[in-house]
Amino acid sequence: MKTHIVRERLPNGLLAVAISRPWASTAMFCVDVRVGARFEAPQDSGLSHFLEHMIFQGCDGLPTPEAVNEASERLGAALDASTTRDSTRFEHWVAADRLTESARLVGALLGSPRFASIESERAIILEEALDEFDEDGRRVDAETLSRRALWPASPIGQSVIGELAHLRRFGVADLRRHHARFYGAANMVATAVGPQSVDELMAITRDALGRLPAGQRTEPAPPGALPEGPVIDLVDDHRSQCDCRLVLRTPGRADPDAAAFALLRIALDDGLASRMHRRLGGELGLAYDQWALWEHYPDTGAFELGAQVSPGKVRTFFTEAQRLIEGLISAPPEGEELARVRFRARWAIESALDTPDGLVSLHGAPYLYTDAPPGPADRIAAFDRITTDDLRRVARRLIEPRGYVACCVGPIDKATRRALRAGARKFGPTDAAA
């Protein structure tokens, strides 16, 4: 049996995506919204995430959060949502025969939120936010600090959770203002996945969201100039391990080299056979928790190597992380390694095609920022075209001193601070590698 996919722009501007899986016993209704830290003025930092929480606090017909929860959990899983720097997603995984009810519930929450119980939800959000701050109110979250340094001239570098003072100040008027600006149908993509036909799925979406006000399609602020790097951001904090991040500014996923950036990330960290795990874990025993990621947006990105290490290993981590990046230039993947990296990229896409949320991520959400994103087959073909020389050339694009951010939070001694600053100045390929 084949998966059938249809997309339609509704009269109110909403892009509806119908994904029919005739053999499936469950369904999913998902809405992606163009909103997030990137769209926030400094005084509104954190408002998109706050609004995401408050959407679940009641709507017309379900005036309390308890009523919303009871209604959603009669249909399947609990309603879920998440906010990033440039989007918020609402999703509901349900029994196949409850998809119509699920879509109507999501539509009511998005279209007529009550914003009830704001003080109790504010307390919950403040508890969540405390993960980023110490007892004195200093921000000690390495992810947030590194992005602020990487995008110093753009709101995309702001914290998603926001500032504590803002979270204590936001009121219903702020929520209504933000909702009116960003939660119009023209600013959304809705994806329905289930065993129903594409015509039935499209009808479900029209019924649930077709009467939403159109609103206006919002455009994100540009990523801004590169930081005046290399930037070394070291925050002393009393903890047993140091949170270390080497972050490099990159182009975004619309760049012609996007597939190569993705393969470079996989070469470093995708399975225990990858370079980062083999070197930092197997050979050095440096860290249990280590990772490489490429955080990408349409027009900018962040290539990060990170680890949680004991204070005495901080210098070693940053030295080895730089060598791993430089090694992508001096010895890019070839032969068996390149074949494995390509396979891992293909397998990630093919395995996502078997799950409702994977289908949303491949066939629905990409349309939030472009009218013609590459499909799964196009992405796999792009990976297969990448050569060793392509990977070497694209790895050189990572070596930009102004786009270099080293961030570490934890107990950091003076010798380590000096060593990290000196090491950043040496970052780059050797003459032979270049």
Q: Tens digits of per-residue pLDDT, 30-53?
A: 999 999 999 999 999 999 999 999
| Res. 1: pLDDT tops 90 | no
3-class secondary-structure state, position 133: strand
Query: Beta partners for 383?
Result: none
Domain spanning 4-209, CATH architecture: 2-Layer Sandwich (3.30)
DSSP letter for each residue of 51-82:
HHHHHTT-BTTB-SHHHHHHHHHTTBSPPEEE
In 114-252, where does DSSP find H-type helix? 118-129, 142-150, 164-169, 172-182, 198-209
Burial class (CB in 10 A: 0-12, 13-18, 19+), 348: middle
Q: What is the pLDDT of residues 235-294, one digit of tens each?
A: 999 999 999 999 999 999 999 999 999 999 999 999 999 999 999 999 999 999 999 999
| Res. 307: pLDDT tops 50 | yes
Q: For tokens 């030295």, name the residue.
A: 319
* Maximum pairwise Cα distance, the chain: 69
Would you say 309 and 317 are in contact if contact means Cβ atoms under 8 Å apart? Answer: yes
What is the average pLDDT value for the chain, to the nearest integer? 96
Q: How far, in Å, CA of 248 to CA of 135, rounded?
A: 30
Confidence at residue 175, expressed as pLDDT on a 0 to 100 scale: 99
> Structure tokens of 318?
């940053």
| Res. 430: pLDDT tops 90 | no
Q: What is the pLDDT of residues 357-383, one digit of tens each?
A: 999 999 999 999 999 999 999 999 999
Q: How far, in Å, CA of 418 to CA of 411, rounded?
A: 14
3-class secondary-structure state, position 419: helix
> Structure tokens of 147?
């992005």
Q: How far, in Å, CA of 325 to CA of 81, rounded?
A: 34
The pLDDT > 90 percentage for the chain reads: 96
Would you say 63 and 184 are in contact if contact means Cβ atoms under 8 Å apart? Answer: no
pTM recorded for the entire structure? 0.95
DSSP letter for each residue of 222-270:
P--SPPSS-EEEEEE---SSEEEEEEEEE--TTSTTHHHHHHHHHHHSS
Q: How confident is the model at residue 425 (pLDDT cuts 50, 70, 90)?
A: confident
Which fold would CATH assign to domain 231-425? Cytochrome Bc1 Complex; Chain A, domain 1 (3.30.830)
3-class secondary-structure state, position 104: helix
CATH 3.30.830.10 in the chain is located at 4-209, 231-425
3-class secondary-structure state, position 138: coil
Report the DSSP pairing between strands 15-20 and 26-33: unpaired
| Res. 186: pLDDT tops 50 | yes
Would you say 200 and 51 are in contact if contact means Cβ atoms under 8 Å apart? Answer: no
